[in-house]
Each structure stands twice: as C-alpha cells, then as structure tokens.
Chain A
Amino acid sequence: MKLNWFTRKGIIYWPVSVIGWVLLIVAVAFAVYRFIAIDMLSHSVSDTLINFVFNLLLIGLVYTIIAWFTEAKPKTGTAES
C-alpha cells in the first residue's frame, strides 16, 4: 500500500494529506516544546538558540525521513535513462 502523505518541493516535503498535516503540526509543536524547555534552562537568548539549532536539525531529519518513505508519486512518470 503506497502512503501518499507528502510531496517534495526542493528539499522540503510539504504535506498533501490529513496525516501529513498532522505530522507537520506534531513536529512544529515538538520543536516549540523543546525551545521552551531549553529556554527555561539557559541563561541568555544566544544560549537558547545555540542549543535549539541542533534539536531543530534533528526534528527536521526525522520529519524528512518519514516524508521520504511516504512521498506521493508524481502524476507524470519520468523514466531515468
């Protein structure tokens, strides 16, 4: 069964189904949660951003991996030669 949850625009995967949108919202919500958690423990704005960048990259990686496996096929197929 092919899962058509996302479509690719450049290097970013955009949701095209309800489940895709749910995953994007969950990823954004988790990123916000991690930002708040890091901000509570850090001493300055730069400290927060420094620690948040790594978490954001990890969240983006997990989101991309899920989207890669559930990408919708393009309507016009092109054969590689």
Chain B
Amino acid sequence: MKDKDEFLKQMENLKVPDVNPAEHQKTVKMAIMNAERSAVLGVWLIVIPCYFLLCVFMYYYFHVHINWFTAMFTLLASMDKTPGAAFWGPLILVVLPIICIIINALAIVHVQVNKLDVQQPKARERIITIKIKIWNILLILLSLAVVLVFINYVMVLNITVKN
C-alpha cells in the first residue's frame, strides 16, 4: 500500500517533456497542389506556345522555309484579323504559360509562419521551402522563357513601330 502511494506520488511529480513543434525539423510539408497533376497540366499548357516558338525558330533562325511553319504564322495572323478571335493569340502565347508557372509553383512551394517568442507576438519567422521536383521546375523555367520571349518581342515591336 505504501509502495503504491509512493508510486502514485512519483507519477504525479513526473516532469512532462515540453515538445515545441516549431523546433522539430521533420514536419510534413503539404503543398497546395499535387506535383504530378500540376506537371501533367503544365505539359499540356506549354505544348502549344512551344510548338509556335519551334516554328518561329525553324523558319527565321534556321531558314527552313517549308509550308508547315508558314501555316502556323498564317493561322495566328488570321486569328488577329478575325473579329472576336483576336484575344486567342495572347491567351495561348502568354496567359497559358503564366498559368503553368502558377500551378507548378503552388505544387513545389511551402510557406510556414512561426511565432518566435510568445511574449512578442509581432516577432515571426517565415520559412519558405521549395521542393526539388525536376519536372515542375523544368516546366516553370520553360514557361518563364516563353513568356519572356513574347514580352521581349512585343517591346521590340512597339519600339520599332514608334521609330
């Protein structure tokens, strides 16, 4: 009976370990979107602008003058001339790659905000984690390149027209 009381006293006076989740390095970092699904959609979003760019490079830089590439330019030029279809060109060539960048970035980026000190609520720590998912990163870089090429083209075209 005495042993039991002593045992109970010992259990009551036990120090409970204080685990601070913010200090724990291994946490499950869930991204907003699934990386594989984002990569699959990203491939389909980027295929048409890349096809167009391939036609441009083959025609203008490698001087391969075949009907295949000329037809692509004719098609986009006809879209600009058709009333109500002029928005398709910028949509396909700029908006789709930007959407690809956004969905793939959401799939590999994780943001965590921690409070550093309970007594100082304004002191916060923001941890940004980027997962190394090769296909998602490649799609982001490719989409960024496509967007920059078209923005560069539009800027040069405007400067040329003004001059």
> A and B from one assembly?
yes
A residues with CB within 8 A of B: 8, 10-11, 46-47, 50-51, 53-54, 57-58, 60-61, 64-65, 68, 71, 79-81
- Distance in Å: Cβ of B2 to nearest Cβ of chain A: 50
Residue of B nearest to A44 (CB): B67
Using an 8 Å CB-CB cutoff, how does the interface string of B29-45 with A read, 1 for contact, 0 for none? 11100111100110111
The SS class assigned to the A binding surface is helix
Size range of the chain B interface in the assembly? 20 to 34
Residue from B35, B43, B51, B68 in contact with A11 in the complex, judged by beta carbons closer than 8 Å? B43
B residues with CB within 8 A of A: 28-31, 34-37, 40-41, 43-45, 47-48, 51, 67-68, 71-72, 75, 92, 96, 131
The total of Cβ contacts below 8 Å across the A-B interface reads 52
Residue from B28, B31, B45 in contact with A61 in the complex, judged by beta carbons closer than 8 Å? B45
| Most chain B CB neighbours (cut-off 10 Å) among A54, A65, A80, A81 | A80
| Most chain A CB neighbours (cut-off 10 Å) among B31, B47, B96 | B47
- Distance in Å: Cβ of B63 to nearest Cβ of chain A: 19
Residue of B nearest to A58 (CB): B48
For the complex, what is the distance from the CA of A81 to the CA of B131, rounded to whole Å? 9
Residue from A54, A57, A68, A79 in contact with B41 in the complex, judged by beta carbons closer than 8 Å? A68
- In the complex, are the beta carbons of B75 and A51 less than 8 A apart? yes
- In the complex, are the beta carbons of B28 and A81 less than 8 A apart? yes
For the complex, what is the distance from the CA of A6 to the CA of B47, rounded to whole Å? 21
